[in-house]
Structure 1
């Protein structure tokens, strides 16, 4: 097992850094979508609430990324912090899928 000598820092950089980039990508894409589309299956307040939660998650993510970078990958992120991000991305995927489905049926 040549990988058994990998340091904790290198493991964090290998796993966590791409994960944070993925969250950034999906948060940005979802935010752009919610800011440009009016979703007929959600009332305006629901859409604004989802957008607000995305903005909050982006701020949390940016803070986590700054800490990760400032410590040169020495700091991890608690799963209790990332689990809501994952749920939010999944919620946004579902909203986008419903939008696409609705668009294709019209």
Structure 2
């Protein structure tokens, strides 16, 4: 789940540097809300996993929305790169 958290947080950073010319404000807001909710969901899944002593897996129905968001983050990163916008790496 670390990869999901990392990419979802990267998406938040990308949005902070994303101008209107790359993505309209309404689309940025919707993506920001989706990223925030997904990060909460990942944190909840992580907490549930830590709370039980037996191995636990997540079904594809739970993972699919996170995968879709990561794909949207990758697409945004590509659009920013094409626009010549350099976004610093997270500290």
Bin of the TM-score, shorter chain as denominator length: 0.7 to 0.9
Find out whether 1:69 has 2:59 as its counterpart.
no
Deviation at 1:73, TM superposition (A): 5.3
Q: Which residue number in structure 1 is paired with residue 37 of structure 2?
A: 56
Paired residues, what number?
Answer: 85
Give the secondary-structure state (helix, strand or coil) at the position aligned to 1:96.
Answer: helix
In 2, the alpha carbon distance for the partners of 1:43 and 1:69 equals 39
- Ranked by relative contact order (alpha carbons within 8 Å, sequence separation 6 or more), the top structure is 2
Find out whether 1:82 has 2:83 as its counterpart.
no
Matching residue within 7, 10, 18 for 1:37: 18
CA RMSD of aligned residues (A): 1.5
The 1:72–1:29 alpha-carbon spacing in structure 2 relative to 1, beyond 3 Å, is farther
Q: Which residue number in structure 1 is paired with residue 74 of structure 2?
A: 93
Point out the structure with the larger helix share.
Answer: 1
Larger Rg over CA atoms? 1
In 2, the alpha carbon distance for the partners of 1:98 and 1:69 equals 37
**Unmatched tracts of structure 1, length 5 or more:** 1-19
In 2, the alpha carbon distance for the partners of 1:21 and 1:72 equals 20
